[in-house]
Structure 1
Amino acid sequence: MASIRPGCESRWVHRASRGCMVATPLVRGLIVLFAMVVVSAHAAAQDLASDMRRLMNSAKVGQSRIGVSIVDTATGEVLFSSRSSEALIPASNMKILTSAAALWTLGPEWVYRTELREVDGRLILVGSGDPALADPELLNRTEPRLTVEDFLTILSESVRKAGILDVTEVVLDDRVFDRAYIHPSWPENQLDKWYCAQVSGINFHANVLAFYPRPSQGGVAQAPTVRVQPSAPWIDIENRARTINGDRNTVSVLRTPDPYRFRLAGEVAVPSVVPIEVSVSRPTELFGRMLADRVRQAGVSLPESQGAVRLVRMDEDFPRGRTIAVVTTPLADVLKRCNTDSYNLYAESLLKSIGHRATNTPGSWENGGKVMLMLLSEKLGPGYAASTRVADGSGMSRENAVSPDTITRWLTVISRDRTIADAFIASLAKPGEGTLKRRFQGARLRCDVRAKSGYINRVRSLSGYVTHRDTGERLAVSFIANDIPGDVHGNVFDLAEDVFKTVDTHLSRRAARQPPAVGG
């Protein structure tokens, strides 16, 4: 018989009786309670599966191929599955794989660092692949707020303040990444869009120029004026637009084969508040030329010739020299812009960064993709890696392929990993922000939803977490639709939200069914 100290409540009594253990009433009650919890959880899972089947069967989505997976992150139990093992084009849900791979490879405390150095009368700009360098959105969040012109001024004046009066050349060291700036499978007719911005070891201003047209003061039919940010005297605008009366602009900016020549076309009625953003060719060299221009304005002697600004040779070595200025960006800021705002440049820079970090060679889509597949194999198993295709990091490429089951398993492993879970979940959008700004409007969600949306032609996706606010129970959810007919895109959009709403309702019911805690 177990010894019991006087004055202590006996909760467990082991009594020998013909070789059997005899349970006290309290123990019997706990056994019954445990059985009730198991039955309740099983019933709740069945309810969710039943609700999901009804939802999927009633959806008017034509011949769309839709995969759905729902997994309990605590137990790994699959609560619902429909075509979940089929590898589908994920669109921006690819960023879920990329951002977590970056956290595991680089570490949550990783900081991108861009250095301006002086070496033997030369300025050497050493890049780290930072996608946030002079990103106007992030500059606007600094204290005090900065514009890109402020950024260029601060950087160029640091040269003069360091006592440097003469510079022979500006060398741009972008060797952290390769010089494949554009993924070969990106759509050619969209390469001038901001979401197809080129990817470099030295990025600048999100690798776009921002154009702000406004009607001419000369009146109707006159050519409008246009402000360019950041500005440069060698940027040429072929102005084919005209000023009109009205309250709406129908104007566009087109890139020409000349990297510094653009064409303005259409009609301008009112000053543009939201810029027209156009991706630039050779963004690193553009930044170098702008930096050189501002350095001259700061009073430093630097030759005017184009040859005074150049890319580093791949085999070139420099002494370290002295550091003039340093610009840093925490990984957390990059992840937030990648996942909440779905900025493709950020995802591609992350993919190339993990390739560089793992191989100590210039980061590329190839070596970054291989690292991601290695992580999939390590975290989930070889079968998951074998069924996944990694073309790029953002999901812009239609050559990516991943199953909803892989995504929910990936999300489950992330949720259980205390080293990266908080940083990853914080990077995902909540309803009302980022790419979820107009999602779940009017929905009375009782749980916390964090998700990543995705869209390219005939593809929609929505994956993430639904977490009960009181119990902490968390489900991983992945919805991917391919081959969507044009007339049902809205229905598929709504169905993705309905899947998350159904999970939200399920978790709320499940929490209500849980019996009260037992204890003295």
Structure 2
Amino acid sequence: MSGTRGTARARGKLSTGKFFTGKLSTLVRGWPILLLTVLLLALALPAGMLIAPALTGPAQSSAQPVQTPAWQLVPNRLSVPQGIDPLSSAAPVPVPADVAARLDPVLKTDGGGTFTAVVQDAATGKVLYDRNGAANRIPASNMKLLTAVAALRGIGPGERFSTRVITGPAAAAGTRSVVLVGGGDVLLGAGESAEAKVLGHAGLATLAKQTVDSLRKDGFKGQVRVLVDDSLFSGPALNPAWSPDDVAAGETAPLFPLALNSARFDPADTAAPRPQDSAMAAGSAFAAGLKTAGAAAGVTVAPAVVRLDGKPTAGGKVLAEVQSATVSQQVDLMLQTSDNYLAETLGRMTAVAAGQPGTSDAAKAAVLNELAGLGIPTGGMVTADVSGLALGNQVSARQFAEVVRAITNGKDTRLRAALAGFPVAGLTGTLGDRYIDESTAEGAGLVRAKTGTLNTVIALSGYVVDADGRLLVFSFIGNGLTPGAEGNKPALDTAATALAGCGCS
């Protein structure tokens, strides 16, 4: 019995298993259809919700309309510009004690030597900080500020220097001589005139083409002999106050009233030695341009370029002429790049404009005369050159601050032309690679100043608008410094940055 029951249960289980197995097989066979059905339902429901309103009209709802984000709305007022506010005479003048509290902790030398300093309110001239500011110091290239002022006053910001070609002395039959006359432009380019530039504004290739055109109009074909007249400058071409090592290193070169690229072989290489006879180098470049321009016109050029024997060439007929960038533009370039050769040239041209000879001594006298004409005290000031390369220069921080004040606020508005030449901290010129670390970055774009550097000398003179909107002028000079000490430039930069952030009223 028990056996019979057991067999029956087994048969029942087997039948049940077959039933479920059959059902499972049916489900498996129908699984793709089931999945497809679910998928269609999933897609149909949202689609239906989107389509339904179009068929039945908008649903009646009490929900509020979606608000337009504020940033998508039309503004109802102009945004406040982020920058330096316009200067106002109502801006408070800094309190001297507060200025001292900012400068004294940072204006410290790295090693030996001392800093002198003066800070003034530009509008009133009030001295806000004075650390032995009347003491004479070696100023290095801050001397170029004096030369800039002198050139703008003595020559004029809009004046230009002409480089001419005139007919020369009589030559053998079938030949002619032409004279390249230097007029003070030492920024000549070898190629075509580039009127949008300062360096190369006047090009010798353009001058050569003009010369060939004039010769052709005269019906001349034959050989041309090139002479160079550099008699506008006289006296020693090298200032005896300059170190021969500085000359050999290319800091400057013998002075002539015409030169290519401010007496450089390559304008992009400012650390290389310079040509020692820039006038003849310019003459050779002009002769090469004349040869190229004259080839199709039957004009040939004698191989040798000769310096005129010192006789003026005032009576010659002008065949061609190109003009330099303006004095204002040249001053800006001089201040931005701190070019000694250009500074000395502008000094000599200031003397020439005053009817004096184009000598180094006349240049120094002309600079002092122009400063005196501005009412800037020159007592005790010593000028060994007008570029700052000489160690014999002696000028006080107070005198430099007065010069900067004359540029920014003085009655002679011609001096305003020098404002654009001041290097901008962290951006341009000799300050382009400074004001980039944490201690000075806040002065980037705000401090504008002329730099000066010699072996044991560092200087920084310029102007800045403080946090209250007050224009301040300053001059910091370090002398007797430890050569190679790394902390002296940052000390001056940090001091100028402190002035920029000064809310010292």
TM-score (norm 1): 0.70
Contact 1:203/1:284 (8 A) holds in 2: yes
Aligned to 1:176: 232
Aligned to 2:402: 409
Q: After the TM superposition, which of the residue ranges 43-52 and 280-289 deviates more from structure 2?
A: 43-52
What's the CA shift string for 1:295-342, capped at 9, x where partnerless? 2343323333x3x5223514x344241332323221122112100111
Q: What is the one-letter code of the residue matched to 2:256?
A: S
Contact 2:181/2:229 (8 A) holds in 1: yes
- SS of the counterpart of 2:372? helix
- SS of the counterpart of 1:396? coil
Q: After the TM superposition, which of the residue ranges 173-182 and 426-435 deviates more from structure 2?
A: 173-182
Q: Tell me the distance in 1 between the aligned counterparts of 2:400 and 2:94.
A: 25
Query: Among the aligned pairs, what percent are the same residue?
Result: 23
Contact 2:404/2:461 (8 A) holds in 1: no
Aligned to 2:371: 376
Distance 1:460 1:141, change over 3 A: farther
* Shift in Å, 1:98: 0.5
Q: What is the one-letter code of the residue matched to 1:348?
A: E
1:386 to 379, 382, 393: 379
Correspondence 1:128 to 2:121: no
Q: What is the one-letter code of the residue matched to 1:476?
A: V
- SS of the counterpart of 1:185? coil
2:289 to 282, 285, 294: 294
Match runs of 1:56-205 below 5 Å: 56=107, 59-119=108-168, 121-134=176-189, 151-162=203-214, 163=216, 164-205=220-261
Q: What is the one-letter code of the residue matched to 2:186?
A: P
Give the ranges of 4+ consecutive aligned residues of structure 1 lying more than 4 Å apart after TM superposition: 40-43, 139-148, 273-276
* Shift in Å, 1:356: 1.1
Q: Tell me the distance in 1 between the aligned counterparts of 2:306 and 2:150.
A: 35
Aligned residues: 398
Higher fraction of strand: 1
Q: Tell me the distance in 2 between the aligned counterparts of 1:454 and 1:135.
A: 31
Distance 1:124 1:452, change over 3 A: same
Q: Tell me the distance in 1 between the aligned counterparts of 2:275 and 2:147.
A: 24
RMSD: 3.0
1:313 to 293, 303, 310: 310
- SS of the counterpart of 1:478? strand
Q: After the TM superposition, which of the residue ranges 289-298 and 64-73 deviates more from structure 2?
A: 289-298
Q: Tell me the distance in 2 between the aligned counterparts of 1:201 and 1:72.
A: 40
Larger Rg: 2
Aligned to 2:499: 503
* Shift in Å, 1:276: 6.6
- SS of the counterpart of 1:412? helix
Q: What is the one-letter code of the residue matched to 1:301?
A: T
Contact 2:190/2:285 (8 A) holds in 1: no
Q: Tell me the distance in 1 between the aligned counterparts of 2:194 and 2:300.
A: 33
* Shift in Å, 1:423: 0.5
- SS of the counterpart of 1:289? helix
Distance 1:140 1:429, change over 3 A: farther
Question: 5+ unaligned residues in a row in structure 2: which ranges?
Answer: 1-88, 171-175
Q: Tell me the distance in 1 between the aligned counterparts of 2:223 and 2:472.
A: 58
Q: What is the one-letter code of the residue matched to 1:117?
A: I
2:272 to 263, 273, 277: 277
Q: Tell me the distance in 2 between the aligned counterparts of 1:354 and 1:145.
A: 19
Q: What is the one-letter code of the residue matched to 1:426?
A: A
Q: Tell me the distance in 1 between the aligned counterparts of 2:200 and 2:130.
A: 48
Contact 1:69/1:478 (8 A) holds in 2: yes
- SS of the counterpart of 2:451? strand
* Shift in Å, 1:152: 4.2
Aligned to 1:466: 464
Aligned to 1:46: 97
- SS of the counterpart of 2:332? helix
Q: Tell me the distance in 2 between the aligned counterparts of 1:203 and 1:179.
A: 18
Distance 1:436 1:135, change over 3 A: farther
What's the CA shift string for 1:264-311, capped at 9, x where partnerless? xxxxxxxxx96873211221112213322432343323333x3x5223
Aligned to 1:450: 448
Q: Tell me the distance in 1 between the aligned counterparts of 2:314 and 2:412.
A: 41
- SS of the counterpart of 2:185? coil
Contact 1:289/1:309 (8 A) holds in 2: no
- SS of the counterpart of 2:449? strand
What's the CA shift string for 1:469-501, capped at 9, x where partnerless? 884x311110111111136x2211111001101
What's the CA shift string for 1:362-410, capped at 9, x where partnerless? 31111111122223333335xx322111111111111111000110012
Distance 1:173 1:147, change over 3 A: closer
Distance 1:65 1:468, change over 3 A: closer
- SS of the counterpart of 1:393? coil
- SS of the counterpart of 1:117? strand
